[in-house]
């Protein structure tokens, strides 16, 4: 029996997840959960990075002092793109900004003008989003941030937290591939873009594979948390890469995945990146996964719309649980309106903005919470169908099964809507795919798992899955036509 500890940090919360691996089955237990809230300062949005590391230490303390556990490994995964810059002494000289920081928009336009859209895509094969790391660095340069020029190393969020755990500064491959300055075809940093934009390329460090052992917990942490010799691994440090590693696909039928949460990451797993004019036209992205696989995918706004609606109603004194909102949405009138989820990336006033969008596009606006959520979920399902068709265009085959993993897989209504909108079988679960992938990639690094196929076999044997068969109707076809027309 082996015990691994995964620190899985998402855009709203983080968890310390204990994974016990025995007889080909993985059991999960949450040891510690904590909030992850951005900090708004006069100059922009930041992550509360020190608080996050404090909670990581608390998770280790619970494992060691309260549970008296011996850990066979520890690893951190987070969302993509965000980073900290460290000086030659290993101290932060630029604190990690939040990817929704408003200054990124101007930097994005400046970088595209300087380097060229086609050139950037040729070097990186990545979807264009103003939040990508390349444009955040361009924003540092445009703001004259002194720390950019005094920095010695760039560490993405999981790299930074792992460094504070074990003292080793490395860049893990899957998280590096989200930056838009990594070349997935040549498997190296795209330093040409740094030369073009005048960015300091010496800050780019050694890239290690998921499953690599970084080192051991620092002595001070071991003593404080009552832990013995504990290896720190680089897991699939991008949360989506960990989630995709834990997709319980058998390969018997062509499949794609949706890692469903605040964002929806929808894609296929292929052997080599597709960096072609058609991929650029469709704005698909090539990120790297476990065992060198390419994750050809699209970033979609996801359940962010529902989260923001709920947050706005709470500010106005109306509190609803997610289960209540889903129940109300299930009883709401279908196809009241459709919208483009990716037009709602920015925070704030979500219900009002959705209503304004409907008015602008000549549709009846939702009025009650259940209607707003129904519109959001149906529109998300229609967006999935559109992205599914994009993926099929590039890979050249029909996808028959959609695996929905992550927290969003618990939304039975959305699973049903996706099956009906796409006409494909939906397999929902596990909801803890990211934590499971984190833990099992650690086990790969420790030599306990032979590879990705064994990881997926363990996942399939360890979790209950929901299978939803489609019941497509003419109403969905009409809704899809309307959706495509509104998207233009």
- In this structure, what token pair is assigned to residue 240? 């989506």
How far is CA 9 from each of CA 17, 47, 60, 438, rounded to the nearest angstrom? 11, 12, 15, 11
Contact 183, 190 (CB under 8 A): yes
Pick the closest to residue 260 from 237, 284, 239 (CA basis).
239
Annotated catalytic residue within 195, 239, 271, 340? 239
Alpha carbons 175 and 169: distance in angstroms, whole number: 14
**Long-range CB contacts (within 8 A, 24+) of 118-123:** 118/280, 119/193, 119/196, 120/180, 120/193, 121/275, 121/279, 121/280, 122/275, 123/181, 123/183, 123/190, 123/192, 123/193
CA terminus-to-terminus distance, the chain: 55
How far out from the chain centre does Cα 151 lie? 26
Does the active-site annotation cover 239? yes
Instruction: Enumerate residues 6+ apart whose C-beta is below 8 A from 272.
Output: 185, 294
Q: Which residues are catalytic?
A: 239
């Amino acid at each position: 029996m082996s015990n691994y500890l995964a620190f899985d940090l998402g855009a709203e919360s983080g968890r310390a997840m204990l994974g016990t691996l025995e007889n080909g089955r993985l059991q999960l237990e949450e040891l510690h959960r904590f909030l992850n809230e951005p900090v708004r300062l006069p100059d922009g949005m930041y992550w509360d990075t020190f608080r996050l590391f404090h909670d990581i230490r608390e998770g280790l303390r619970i494992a060691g002092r309260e549970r008296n556990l011996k850990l066979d490994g520890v690893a951190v995964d987070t969302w993509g793109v965000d980073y900290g810059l460290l000086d030659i002494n290993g101290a932060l000289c630029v604190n990690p900004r939040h990817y929704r920081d408003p200054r990124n928009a101007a930097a994005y336009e400046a970088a595209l003008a300087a380097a060229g859209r086609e050139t950037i895509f040729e070097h990186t094969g990545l979807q264009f989003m103003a939040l990508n790391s390349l444009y955040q660095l361009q924003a540092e340069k445009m703001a004259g941030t002194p720390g950019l020029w005094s920095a010695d190393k760039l560490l993405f969020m999981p790299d930074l937290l792992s460094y504070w755990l074990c003292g080793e500064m490395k860049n893990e491959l899957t998280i590096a591939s989200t930056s838009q300055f990594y070349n997935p075809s040549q498997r190296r940093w795209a330093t040409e873009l740094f030369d073009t934009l005048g960015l300091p390329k010496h800050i780019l460090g050694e890239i290690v594979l998921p499953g690599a052992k970084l080192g051991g917990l620092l002595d001070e942490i071991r003593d404080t948390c009552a832990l013995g010799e504990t290896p720190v691994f680089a897991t699939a440090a991008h949360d989506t890469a960990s989630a995709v590693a834990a997709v319980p696909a058998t390969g018997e039928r062509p499949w794609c995945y949706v890692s469903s949460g605040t964002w929806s990451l929808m894609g296929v797993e292929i052997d080599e990146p597709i960096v072609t004019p058609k991929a650029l036209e469709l704005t698909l992205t090539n990120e790297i996964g476990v065992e060198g696989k390419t994750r050809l995918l699209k970033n979609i706004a996801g359940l962010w719309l529902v989260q923001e609606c709920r947050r706005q109603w709470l500010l106005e004194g109306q509190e609803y649980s997610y289960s209540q909102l889903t129940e109300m949405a299930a009883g709401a009138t279908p196809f009241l309106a459709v919208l483009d989820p990716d037009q709602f990336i920015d925070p704030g006033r979500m219900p009002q903005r959705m209503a304004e969008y409907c008015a602008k596009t000549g549709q009846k606006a939702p009025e009650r919470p259940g209607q707003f959520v129904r519109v959001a979920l149906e529109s998300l399902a229609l967006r999935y169908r559109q992205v599914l068709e994009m993926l099929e265009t590039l890979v050249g085959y029909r996808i028959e099964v959609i695996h929905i993993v992550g927290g969003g897989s618990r939304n039975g209504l959305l699973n049903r809507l996706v099956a009906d909108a796409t006409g494909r079988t939906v397999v929902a679960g596990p909801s803890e795919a990211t934590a499971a992938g984190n833990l099992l990639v650690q086990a790969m690094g420790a030599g306990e798992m032979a590879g990705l196929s064994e990881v997926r076999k363990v996942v399939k044997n360890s979790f209950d899955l929901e299978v939803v068969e489609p019941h497509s109707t003419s109403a969905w076809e009409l809704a899809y036509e309307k959706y495509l027309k509104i998207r233009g």
